[in-house]
Structure 1
């Protein structure tokens, strides 16, 4: 079977598993299985992206033990083939609210330590306008600019829904005075997307998938994204931070406590803004649903309530209020947006 044959087989099962940017389809061959990653055409880019995953994986392979191997790359049509990692997705055995296998905490700390050792000169090129090494404040401002760009890009279409959710025009204003206070730490390769659906657990170890959002930046940010997306219990969180801060080189975790809180603030605000758009698109399209609709509604309410204190809002939004707003949005979508929000695609460039 040729690589093209494998791709064509995968294309018949694009609903098998998908993230926001790629379909991930397992194809079983006579002697092994592989994962075919096919870009989702026209996907709205709402995360900062610096490199192409297919260029990054070979670069980090000598330094990062628990990352998938790139087997084949095609540019026309665009797809990647990765080795298939045996095991189970962490989210399947330990969804939010369920403690992770204890080795996961060790493996995460080890991953972040290994990323420190990836030399910049082996990585794909970085644009000249990218924040300078160790300029944590400039790196943070780049994150903020992306989140504000998402808001501004969708503001006209989504203003009624933003208003229902009380999202202000400048949702990140509270961070303007915080970023200059960040401690300067050496920049490293950061994964920036380690969460329960991107971790495969097998034989007492973990493999970390989906490197498409990797960046050159502040290692404390990597931990902040991880904590935000994992939603650990207090004991797990404290244990991970203890292991991580003890193992990382001192200069890479200098001043980490207040800066971790600042990055977490950004992630909470970003989730409220970005997922207002993403979740509403799912409701208009009536799926595909990554979780049950009731879970999605509870999640959206939680995200908005986490961000509201930063906007000076003391009241909490209820799940019923979120459902009512999204149902009204779906009802009015055809007349208000014409072709539908799910077909209006926007791209963000780092440069």
Structure 2
């Protein structure tokens, strides 16, 4: 991916060939955007400009234009410009792969937290109403730790392993969700995205104002499923003991995700922090292996 993007997207890691079939990724000197700023800090004027340039550089890269292998199956690829089909595919992946497959051991925990598949079913219906937009390259994970600020103050973008082709509005939704800007900064970033993407690819921002809330709902719901599973994995110990040092942070992260998603149709009212902790404590201590080791 990085090799294919050379000369098309500025300020990304360089790939250097050092021998037959051997490549090295260049190291970008600097610190992440999140290392020296408050969690919800606004972007500087320079970084705002460079973010807009990144959005515009990706917007002009069309589907199948890069010489890279696509790992998704052809039958899972929506028709070009079918923004609703793109979101429906993401919802289906979250339902089938995240919740049903990887989340199967934790379904009792989901039930204890009041979470089922109703939000995903409602989002699948909402996807049908999205405006079509021409597909382009997406980074897929634009958060503060994936931006490096070099010694000159310039912004570099790393970690392209989640890149995909799809609705350009999805990158904006993902960025807003992960950056957790204040409301006025969120509005400003939306203007930067709209101006940059529309100038680079006319028509690529069609219907963005009414569709952005739907994509943000998906990101909030997706975070609930992944954070619940991630929290359970963090608490799993080889000796089946309850990790009391990790439990408070797990409960905090999951409660934040539930609170952020509670307005999404089908999601429950977020439980209090102590209730989330109690649910995880119950899940760990009620497992047969834990009961057996305790006895």
> What runs of 5+ residues in structure 2 fail to find an aligned partner?
239-245
> What runs of 5+ residues in structure 1 fail to find an aligned partner?
1-55, 287-291, 339-351
Question: Is it true that 1:64 corresponds to 2:48 in the alignment?
Answer: no
Q: How many residues align?
A: 277
* In structure 1, distance between residues paired with 2:268 and 2:104: 26
* In structure 1, distance between residues paired with 2:83 and 2:26: 35
* In structure 2, distance between residues paired with 1:107 and 1:285: 43
Q: TM-score, normalised by structure 1?
A: 0.72
Question: Is it true that 1:278 corresponds to 2:199 in the alignment?
Answer: no
1:116 maps to 59
Question: Is it true that 1:237 corresponds to 2:186 in the alignment?
Answer: yes
Tell me, what secondary structure is at the counterpart of 1:248? helix
Q: TM-score, normalised by structure 2?
A: 0.84
Give the CA RMSD over aligned residues.
2.8
* In structure 1, distance between residues paired with 2:249 and 2:47: 25
1:259 maps to 211
- Structure 1 residue 206: deviation in Å? 0.7
* In structure 2, distance between residues paired with 1:134 and 1:111: 21
Tell me, what secondary structure is at the counterpart of 2:160? coil
1:97 maps to 40
**4+ residue runs of structure 1 moved beyond 4 angstroms?**
292-296, 311-314
2:124 maps to 176
- Structure 1 residue 275: deviation in Å? 1.0
* In structure 1, distance between residues paired with 2:23 and 2:237: 27
- Structure 1 residue 264: deviation in Å? 0.6
Task: Name which of structure 1's ranges 165-174 and 97-106 shifts more when overlaid on structure 2.
Answer: 97-106
Given candidates 263, 279, 293, the residue that maps to 1:325 is: 279
Tell me, what secondary structure is at the counterpart of 1:189? strand
Mark the CA change 1:311 to 1:82 in structure 2 (over 3 Å): closer, same or farther: same
1:132 maps to 79
* In structure 2, distance between residues paired with 1:336 and 1:311: 36
Which digits, 9 at most, give the CA deviation of each residue in 1:2-23, with x for residues without a partner? xxxxxxxxxxxxxxxxxxxxxx
Larger strand proportion, structure 1 or 2? 1
Mark the CA change 1:271 to 1:314 in structure 2 (over 3 Å): closer, same or farther: closer
Spell out the pairing of 1:1-351 with structure 2 (5 A cutoff). Answer: 56-71=1-16, 81-119=24-62, 120-126=64-70, 127-129=73-75, 130-149=77-96, 150-202=98-150, 203-249=152-198, 250-285=202-237, 294-312=248-266, 315-333=269-287, 335=289
Which digits, 9 at most, give the CA deviation of each residue in 1:176-198, with x for residues without a partner? 22111111111101001010111
* In structure 2, distance between residues paired with 1:102 and 1:294: 37
* In structure 1, distance between residues paired with 2:60 and 2:147: 21
Tell me, what secondary structure is at the counterpart of 1:243? helix
1:27 maps to none
* In structure 1, distance between residues paired with 2:187 and 2:291: 46
Mark the CA change 1:155 to 1:102 in structure 2 (over 3 Å): closer, same or farther: same
Mark the CA change 1:97 to 1:247 in structure 2 (over 3 Å): closer, same or farther: closer
